[in-house]
Amino acid sequence: FFVFSSNMRVYLFVALALFAYLAHGGFVETAYTATLSTNQEVPLPLDPPPSAGVAVCVLTRRTSPPVLDCEVQHNVNEVSGAHIHVAARGLAGRIVFEFSGSTANHFRQSFSIVDLENYPATSQIDDFLNGLFYINIHSEDYPSGEIRGQLEHTDRFYARLSATNTIPHASGTSAHGLAVGTYSTQNPSRELAFDIVHSVQQPLQSGLEIRSAPPGQIGPLVFSFRNAESPAYESVQYTINEEADFFRDLHYINVLSQRNPTGEIRGQMVTIDYIDELSFTARLDSEQSVPQTDSNNRGNALFAYHCDTKVLEYVVMHNIPDPRGAFIGSAPAGDAGVTLFSLTSGSSPIYGSIQLVPEEELLLYSRSLYISIVSVEFSAGEIRGQITVDFDWWAYLSGTNVVSPVTTSSVGIATMTLFGEQNRKLDYSIFHSVETPLRTSLNIAREGDNGPLDLVFPSTFSPIRGDDIVLDDDELEAFVTEGSYISVTSLDNPFLGEIRGQIRRVNPCTASNDNSLTVSLSDGNGDEDEKAIEAEDRETMLDLSDEALPVSTSSSTFFFYAGDNKDNSAAGSLATGSLSFVLCLLLLANYL
């Protein structure tokens, strides 16, 4: 086993977490965007110039305190200052953050979200998530503000363009660019519309391109636009295959110039809030706590695990009114455990990510990690949930998934499983933070489409739990083929909903850890044999491998495998309870 020092662990986590952030969309970082213009200023400037700007701000909740990272690209001359203010559209508000250093054309700065005078950190986060933050750029000619942009959760992607991303590397330039845009799957069909502001001098005619390739590679041309001058406002209709590549973050924007005809700046197009792969889920209750408590509170958790970086991202929601903290521990179900990681917060929702070492990865895949919420009354843990694939259907609900998107701080998560005859009965648990909910429903439609109401859950306020729904043929087929979504409507959004999430099945990646499929066991004679873990021991193994889930309807039978995606298939059954116990002892020895 490897032994990591605390410093090594921190450095490794920072590096790999950055890689995970660049490579994956997820729920730990929340990206809001803005297109800055003169007509959003309050009061409106008199005879303003045709100035423009684009901004991307990412709220990171993996750190304590949380961090707001903002990048701005604009073409304002003689800038005298730039700030983040708080107020709704059409109103002027107080300054929350001031950008320091040079604010000409392009700048980027991170701000720690901490308590300010008469403005606590929790209120700042809520205001940001509810679309009340705006960026204002002041100039010598317009001291009250020349361009302004409201930071909202309405765009589907953003791209940060720079010379360092080009292949070959562009020479003789310090140009940058930012692009943000929307995406429509229907009406209009598969249409990408975007705004871009950049500082490239002498761009080539038709020198604004979209190409398809991952970072570090040159890909084929998808589309070129006639106007490469900044600012540009363009749209393009994708094919079905191009849409798939777009949602896999394989498209990038390239700006060509006379100096650098193969590309002066380039940036990968990063989709916002598009989460199509999750690995594990958990349901938390008092019965799983060791010792058991008499609490009636509960919780849900979703986990995305990246086998290449060993970064585990999580979001947890619960209804404990007085949480003191939360942690991830190690032990099989029913056993007292060892605390491995303290989470960034105990208040719901809890966002974050952790870096696993090989031993911890093996514990994850052997059902030997759990999450626990600590409260004032129960200092050892009020509720606990084992991290498994038992509840193998999930949904992450946000305003971005609503069609058209809604800027809101509300979120929700659902864990579900099918059981009973022909797997038609639905066991569900839904948590959400909508303050004035009207209805929680199951609707029929694909991602990006609005669909008809199918059924209304018997409760509206969170948590919503039950196992009393029986799906008919059409409902079942839609459910298991990602054709259903959960919607929560509210007083403010009574029709299309305030938050929404597509229903998908968990799909753990295949771990590259040598211990992930085999373990070393002694035969008692001093020789150690590599023995595969037997798949019959279902009580202590990850049970989502090549076993099919049959779902029958009157017309046909569907079989669903976790390994249907061959590039990201579920890991097989991995470890026994005795192995988990040994690993727990070894981890405890390392930490002590």
| DSSP string across 498-553 | SEEEE-EE--------GGGTEEEEE-SSS-EEEEEPPTT-GGGS---SS--EEEE-
What confidence score (pLDDT) does residue 275 get? 77
**Could you tell me if 33 and 137 lie in one domain?**
yes
Residue 69: other Cβ atoms inside 10 A: 15
* 388 vs 572, higher pLDDT: 388
Collapsing DSSP states into helix, strand and coil, what is residue 9? Answer: helix
Mean pLDDT of 528-552: 40
141, pLDDT greater than 90: yes
Which of the listed residues 150, 175, 208 is the one where a domain comes to its end? 150
Count structural domains, the chain.
5
* Average pLDDT of the residues in 485-490: 99
Checking if the pLDDT of 179 tops 90, the result is yes
Same domain, 174 and 145: no
Q: Which residues pair with 137 in a beta bridge?
A: 82, 147
pLDDT band for position 345 (cuts 50, 70, 90)? confident
| Phi, psi dihedrals of residue 432, rounded to the nearest 5° | -150, 165
Q: What is the amino acid identity at position 225?
A: F
Is 516 inside a domain boundary?
A: no
**Residue 523 domain-assigned?**
no
Over residues 196-222, the mean pLDDT reads: 97
Report the pLDDT averaged over residues 34-61: 96
User: Does the pLDDT value for residue 531 go beyond 90?
Assistant: no
- C-alpha pair distances (Å), 281 with each of 310, 331, 367, 545: 17, 16, 11, 16
pLDDT higher than threshold 80 for residue 53 = yes
Nearest Cα neighbor of 344 from 70, 118, 59 is 59
490-494 average pLDDT score: 98
Regarding predicted confidence, which is higher, 14 or 225? 225
Residue 11 lies in a domain: no
* pLDDT value of position 518: 30
- Report the pLDDT averaged over residues 556-580: 41
User: Positive or negative, the Cα torsion across 165, 166, 167, 172?
Assistant: negative
Q: Residue 51 to residues 2, 45, 75, 145, 369: CA-CA distances in angstroms? A: 56, 12, 6, 11, 53
Task: Please state the φ and ψ torsions of residue 334, each to the nearest 5 degrees.
Answer: 90, -5
Question: Residue 552: is its pLDDT beyond 90?
Answer: no
Question: Taking Cα atoms as reference points, which of 230, 49, 70, 231 lies closest to residue 139?
Answer: 49
CA distance 415 to 409: 21
Retrieve residue 321's tokens: 């009114």
Tell whether 360 is covered by a domain: yes
pLDDT single digits (tens) 419-458: 999 999 999 999 999 999 999 999 999 998 999 999 999 9
- Of 150, 166, 183, which residue constitutes the final position of a domain? 150
Q: Which of 239, 271, 303 is the last residue of a domain?
A: 271
Residue 129 lies in a domain: yes
pLDDT at 152 over 90: yes
The whole-angstrom separation of Cα 481 and Cα 505 is: 9
Pair (135, 58) in one structural domain: yes
pLDDT score at 541: 42
DSSP string, 242-297: HHHHHHTT-EEEEEEESS-TT-SEEEEEEESS------EEEEEBGGGSSS------
pLDDT given for residue 273 in this prediction: 74
Cα dist from 153 to 54, 122, 405, whole Å: 14, 18, 7
> Rounded to 5 degrees, what are φ and ψ at 528?
-110, 125
Mean pLDDT along residues 510-537 = 41
Q: Report the amino acid identity of residue 577.
A: G
Q: CB of 445 within 8 A of CB of 451?
A: yes
Q: Which of 89-103, 278-292, 406-420, 569-583 has the lowest mean pLDDT?
A: 569-583
In whole angstroms, give the CA distance from residue 411 to residue 414: 11
Is 493 found in the same domain as 471?
A: yes
Residues ≥6 apart with Cβ < 8 Å to 554: 473
Per DSSP, what are the bridge partners of residue 549? 560
- Domain containing 92: what range? 28-150
Cα 347 to Cα 317: distance, rounded to the nearest angstrom: 8
What does the pLDDT read at residue 590?
52
On the question of pLDDT at 370 being above 50, the answer is yes
Is there a single domain that holds both residue 537 and residue 494? no
Are 173 and 259 in contact by the 8 Å Cβ rule? The answer is: yes
Least confident window among 5-19, 261-275, 343-357: 5-19
179 and 137 within one domain: no
How many residues would you count in the chain? 592
**Is position 66 within any domain?**
yes
Q: What is the mean pLDDT of the chain?
A: 86
128 shares a domain with 101: yes
The answer on 117 and 55 residing in a single domain is: yes
Q: Which residue, chain included where needed, has tokens 């041309």?
A: 221
Residue 541 makes CB contacts below 8 A (sequence gap 6+) with 366, 367, 533, 535, 573, 574, 575, 576
**Beta strand extents in 299-368 (DSSP E only):** 299-306, 311-318, 323-330, 338-342, 350-355
Mean pLDDT of 401-420: 96
CATH of the domain at 361: 2.60.40
Q: Is the dihedral of CA 86, 87, 89, 90 positive or negative?
A: negative
Return d(Cα 114, Cα 121) in angstroms, integer.
5
Contact predicate 459/425, CB 8 Å: no
Same domain, yes or no: 113 and 174: no
- Report the predicted TM-score, pTM, of the whole model to 2 decimal places: 0.82
pLDDT digits (tens, 9 = 90+) for 233-254: 999 999 999 999 999 999 999 9
110 and 134 assigned to the same domain: yes
As a whole number, mean pLDDT of residues 162-167 equals 98
| CB 269, CB 247: distance < 8 Å | no
Give the pLDDT score at 567.
38
Same domain, 339 and 437: no
* pLDDT > 70: percent of the chain: 82
pLDDT for the residue 59: 95
| Position 519 in a domain | no
* Model confidence at 2: pLDDT above 80: no
In this prediction, residues 382-400 reach a mean pLDDT of: 97
C-alpha angle with apex 568: 563 to 571, nearest 5 degrees? 60
Structural domain contains residue 551:
yes
Task: Answer yes or no: do 500 and 540 share one domain.
Answer: no
